Structures are given as structure tokens and as C-alpha cells.
Amino acid sequence: MSPRLDASHTPRATSTSPPEHLEPIEQDDVLAGLPEIPPYDEVGPVDARALSKTLFERLESLEEGTHEYSYVRNTLVELNLALVKFAASRFRSRSEPMEDIIQVGTIGLIKAIDRFELSRGVEFPTFAMPTIVGEIKRFFRDTSWSVRVPRRLQELRLDLAKAGDELAQQFDRAPTVAELAERLGLSNDEVVEGMAASNAYTASSLDAQPEEDDAEGALADRIGYEDHGLEGIEYVESLKPLIAELPSRDRKILSLRFVANMTQSEIGDELGISQMHVSRLLSRTLVRLRKGLTLEE
């Protein structure tokens, strides 16, 4: 007798493992007529296809949401998990854990089961694979960006990459923004926006080491730092017209004190005045300049 899944059991992407086999039960009168199914991992592709067809026929006769409907639906999921694993193997080089990829692909399998109709005359694996692969690709598209960007820009990045490759082969050089815009029927600004958004796809660590042939250090060593001297330049430029309005002696005292770095006594000796007088003149000048800066602000 085949193992039976609980009616409420449905694989979800948040789970960390594929659907589990629950304890086998006896088929009751309602489930009579379903074929006996061996352990799922022992069912070959040909047998799984034949059993799936029989189960789909039975599924169409059952009411959705019932205990029996869930039994048949979950059995179809288990029988066809090999499709999910095959599709997931195409993405084994990605950084995401394979278990997560399989769980996402299982969601695609469930969607395919819910949409499948025998009357279409198409084999279920043929119908299901595009849905499974599409679900996995959507997972990577939505989760692999280092910085979250709108879906429109995510799709534009793919279009730009495809158009860029085609034009590069055609022109034997990298295409211009105008050429990309013409190929995609977009404005230049939209293309530039898409190219800027592409920079958010991957991020580098600040501690990442450079390539072997790169003489630069780590990325953090190449990032600019705050230059506090820039603030001083702003003040100097603002002071220039105020200093130009000062009497010549006051300008001389400022120059000797802050440019020549002379003491007040040395300035007094230079100008033939007392150190106390120099102090008063210097204080008066600084107050005048400070008031001038405040008024400008």
C-alpha cells in the first residue's frame, strides 16, 4: 500500500526539506480504484508518468478542498519531485542552498499540478518544467540583488544585458547608450537608469582584496575620507572681502599674527606699539570679522 500524505501537508518555500512521507494508511471506499503506489523513490520516470495520468483523471472527479482531493494532489507532488530536482540541478552553481532551490521549485510543481488539464493532450512533465524553472528563476531574480530595486529595473537590467550582447557582436564594440535606447525603444534616460540599477546586483566587501595584477589595496583603502580642511577653505573665501575692508594696520597685525605666527610682543616691536595695544587691536578686528561672517550666514 502506498504511503499517504496528510491532507493539510503542502510543501512550502519556507521549509528546509522536501515533503516528508507520512505513515501508510489503508485506502477506504472513497479512494478505492487508485493504483497501488510503491515508495516514491523507487518509481521510475515511465511509471511516474503513467501513475500521474491516472491520478490526474481521478483528481478531476474530486471536489477541491476535500480529504480525498488533498490525498491525490499530494501524491502527485511526491511522484513528480524528480522533475523539481532535475530542474534545480541546472542552478547548482548558484550560492543559494540546493534545499532552498528545491523548495522553490516544488512551489512551481504545485502550481503546475493545479493548472494541468488532461484535455490539453500534453504530457505533464512537458507542461510542468517551464513552470518549475520559471519559479526558480523568479526566486533568483527577486532575492539575488544586493540592494533591493523595483521589479521594472530588475527586468530592464536583463533586457539591457541581452541587447548589449547582441549589439556588441554586431558592432564588434560596446554599444552606446543611444544604440541601446534605439534597440529597446526606450529613452536615453531610461537606459542610464537601468545601467545604474545594474550596479546594485552585486556588492563587494570593503575588505575585499584586489586582483593579483591590481596595485591598489583593499576597497576600503581606496575610498575617500572626510577632508576637514575643506571647511577651512570656505571660511577663508568668506573672510577675504571682510579682511580687504580692514584698515591697513589691522590687516598687517592679522598677517603677522596668523601668517608669520608672531607673538603679540613681537608684533608690538615690529609696529612700534605696546603689546597691550596690539592685543586690543587684534581683539577688535576679530570681533568685527566674526560679526561679518554671522551676518553673511
Give phi and psi for 24, each to the nearest 5: -70, 150
* Same domain membership, residue 95 and residue 72: yes
The pTM assigned to this predicted structure is: 0.42
Indicate if 52 and 130 belong to the same structural domain: yes
- Judge contact between 202 and 213, C-beta under 8 A: no
Contact 181, 188 (CB under 8 A): yes
Q: Whole-angstrom Cα distance, residue 51 to residue 48?
A: 5
CA nearest neighbour of 154 among 197, 214, 199: 197
Question: Could you tell me if 46 and 116 lie in one domain?
Answer: yes
CA-CA-CA-CA torsion sign (168, 171, 173, 174): negative
Domain of 279, in residue numbers: 229-296
Q: What is the domain-level CATH number for residue 65?
A: 1.20.120.1810
Residue 190: inside a domain:
yes
d(CA 247, CA 131): 84
Please check whether residues 138 and 159 belong to one and the same domain: no
Please tell me whether residues 237 and 277 are part of one structural domain.
yes
Residue 142, pLDDT score: 63
Within-domain flag for 255:
yes
Residue 109 confidence (pLDDT): 92
81 and 158 housed in the same domain: no
Task: Specify the pLDDT at position 224.
Answer: 58
Mark whether 252 and 275 lie in a shared domain. Answer: yes
Position 100 in a domain: yes
Instruction: Kindly state whether residue 7 falls inside one of the protein's structural domains.
Output: no
What pLDDT does residue 68 have?
86
Asked whether residue 284 is assigned to any structural domain, the reply reads yes
Whether 160 and 198 share a structural domain: yes
pLDDT at 110: 92
Number of domains observed in the structure of the chain: 3
Is 65 a member of any domain?
yes
In a domain, 58, yes or no: yes
Reference 53, options 31, 72, 30, 28; nearest CA is: 72
- Full pLDDT tens readout for the chain, 297 residues: 344 444 334 433 333 333 444 334 344 444 555 555 555 556 677 777 888 888 888 888 888 888 888 888 888 998 899 899 999 888 887 767 888 889 999 999 999 999 898 888 888 888 999 999 988 888 876 665 555 667 777 678 778 888 888 888 888 888 899 999 998 898 988 888 888 776 665 555 555 555 554 555 555 555 555 666 666 677 777 788 888 888 989 989 988 988 888 999 999 998 899 999 999 999 999 888 888 877 755
Is residue 17 in a domain? no
What residues contact 124, with CB distance under 8 A and at least 6 apart? 49, 52, 53, 56, 80, 112, 116
Grid coordinates representing 76 are 502527485
Q: Are residues 100 and 118 in the same domain?
A: yes
Taking the C-alpha atoms of residue 1 and residue 27, their distance in angstroms, rounded to an integer, is 8
CATH number at residue 283: 1.10.10.10
Quote the CA–CA distance of 130 and 214 in Å, as a whole number: 43
- Give the integer Cα–Cα distance in Å for 59 and 74: 11
